Amino acid sequence: MSQATRSVLLHSFVIALLVVMFFVLPEYHSGNLARILVLAVFAMGYNVLFGYTGLLSLGHALFFASGMYGLGLSIQFMQASPMLAMIIGLITAVVVSCVIGFLALRTTGVAFMIVTLMFAQAGFLTVLFFGKYTRGDEGFVIQRAQRSMFGFDLSQPFPRYFAALVLFSICLFLIAWLVHSRFGKTLVAIRENEQRARMLGYDVQRHKLVAVIISGTMSGAAGAAYALLFGYAGASFAAVQYSILPLLYVLLGGAGTTIGPLIGTVFMFYLIDISSEYTEAYMLIAGLVLILLTLFAPHGIAGLVRKKLVWLP
């Protein structure tokens, strides 16, 4: 079987499994799974940059929030239809990632991490600063009436789950295709040895910029979808914690693998969900997992599996 066929089979299987899950799982868990799918899209976007290009951003909350507020504010203040609002959310994310990419990519390594962190922090503070419109930390609710698309009421469990799944599937196949494309292979080359990639004649800087834009836009799509499907936009989604979470999902699931982000998101979501039943200090778990991963499993769960199955995309 060729690499490409295997990849299509594997990803189709994952999606089929997710379809079945909706009907098998109790409502509480299928509701969670809808959230997980959207967050996994966020993680997949993060993975394009971190896992495939080797650039560690600490500011992806900015892209997530760009999509979220692009959509949320245009519904709130322009009475935009969900479709139009979605497009505005995506455009916002594209613009923000172009600007951030253009600026931040002048730095590398640790400086890149700090610069992205600072830009995201500035974005978070900007959301607070315009509290009159964004309602700051408190956030605002998007009414049910404004959340139906193609006649589906996205506040209902069934349409909501499948809308999340459609977005997830599109992104999953997009990434699976990307990984096998010339472009994706060049990103991996840059991750592995930037200097060598440049001396092979690749325009490293341009590739990185496109990677930031793809990554930022996918993260923005997740943010927009999150606001639309769950009817809420708030400043906490722009805060540092939402820059750390995708890193955590990807590290846990396995950086540079197509399904690693989903695996990581499922595990981390439930770890936090379960621990928050016992203590309000649930981010303790996130901290411990981060430390343990850097210490013992830098390649994550999918990385461990890949040691057995080398063909895993």
Partner 1 sequence: MDFGPYLFVASLEGAITAAVLALTAVGLSIVFGIMRVVNVAHGEFFMLGAVIAWWITSLIAGHPALGFTVALVAAPIIVGVIAVVCNRLVLHKIDYEPERTIVATIGLLYVIQQTTLMTFGPEARPVEAPFNQRIALPWFEFGESGFALTWPWGLSTTTYKLAVIVAAIVILLILWLVMTRTKIGLIMRATQLDQEMAQAHGIAVGRVYALVFGLGAALAALGAVLVVPIQQAHYLMGGDPLLLSFIVVIIGGLGSVLGTVVAAILIGMSDGIISVFFTPTLAKILATLLVAFVLIFKPDGLFGKRRE
Partner 2 sequence: MSIISTRGLSKHYSGLRAVNDVDFDLPEGQVRALIGPNGAGKTTFVGMLSGRIKSTSGSVSFLDTDVTELPAHKRMSMGMAYTFQITSVFANLSVHENVALAARRAIKGPAPVVNDKVMAVLEQVYLADRTGQIAGDLSYGHQRLLEIGMGLAQSPKLFILDEPTQGLSAAEVDGFIQLVKVLSENTTILLIEHNMDVVMQTAHYITVLNFGETLAEGTPEEIKSNAEVQTAYLGST
Q: Check binding of 119 to partner 1 (CB under 8 A).
A: yes
The answer to the question of residue 196 lying near partner 2 (CB under 8 A) is yes
Q: Which is nearer to partner 1, 82 or 261 (CB)?
A: 261
Q: Is residue 185 part of the contact set for partner 2 (CB under 8 A)?
A: yes
CA distance 207 to 186: 8
What CA–CA distance (Å, rounded) separates 150 from 164? Answer: 15
Nearer CB in complex with partner 1: 78/274: 274
Residue 6 within binding range of partner 2, rule CB under 8 A = no
Q: Does 200 bind partner 2 (CB under 8 A)?
A: yes
Paired with 149 in beta bridges are: 152
Q: Does 192 bind partner 2 (CB under 8 A)?
A: yes
Q: DSSP letter string over 2-50?
A: -HHHHHHHHHHHHHHHHHHHHHHS-HHHHHHHHHHHHHHHHHHHHHIII
- CA 114 to CA 57: how far, in whole Å? 8
The yes or no reply on residue 298 touching partner 1 (CB under 8 A) is yes
Quick one: what does residue 86 bind among partner 2, partner 1, none, with the CB cut-off 5 to 8 Å set by partner type?
Answer: none
Q: Select from partner 2, partner 1, none the partner in contact with residue 204, using the beta carbon and a kind-dependent cut-off of 5 to 8 Å.
A: partner 2
Among 28, 151, 195, 295, binds partner 2 (CB under 8 A): 195
- Alpha carbon distance 148, 142 (integer Å): 11
As measured in angstroms, the least distance from the Cβ of 305 to partner 2 is: 17
| Rounded distance between C-alpha atoms, residue 307 and residue 313, angstroms | 12
Q: Decide if residue 153 touches partner 2 (CB under 8 A).
A: no
Interface residue with partner 1 among 84, 91, 113, 174 (CB under 8 A) is: 113
Number of other residues whose CB lies within 10 A of the CB of residue 138: 10
Out of 137, 138, 153, 203, the residue judged to bind partner 2 by CB under 8 A: 203
Mapped onto helix, strand or coil, the DSSP state of residue 284 is helix
Smallest gap from residue 241 Cβ to partner 1 (A)? 9
Contact of residue 29 among partner 1, partner 2, none (CB under 5-8 Å per partner type): none
Residue 299 as a binder of partner 2 (CB under 8 A): the answer is no
CB–CB of 43/249 below 8 Å?
A: yes
Interface pattern 267-286 for partner 1 (x via CB under 8 A): ------------xxxxxx-x
Residue 106: CB minimum distance to partner 1, A:
5
Nearest partner of 51 among 223, 211, 244, judged by Cα? 211
8 touches partner 2 (CB under 8 A): no
- Of 124, 133, 111, nearest to 60 by C-alpha is 124
Q: What is the dihedral of CA 109, 189, 61, 116, to 10 degrees?
A: 30
Residues of this chain that bind partner 2 (CB under 8 A): 182, 185-186, 188-189, 192-193, 195-204
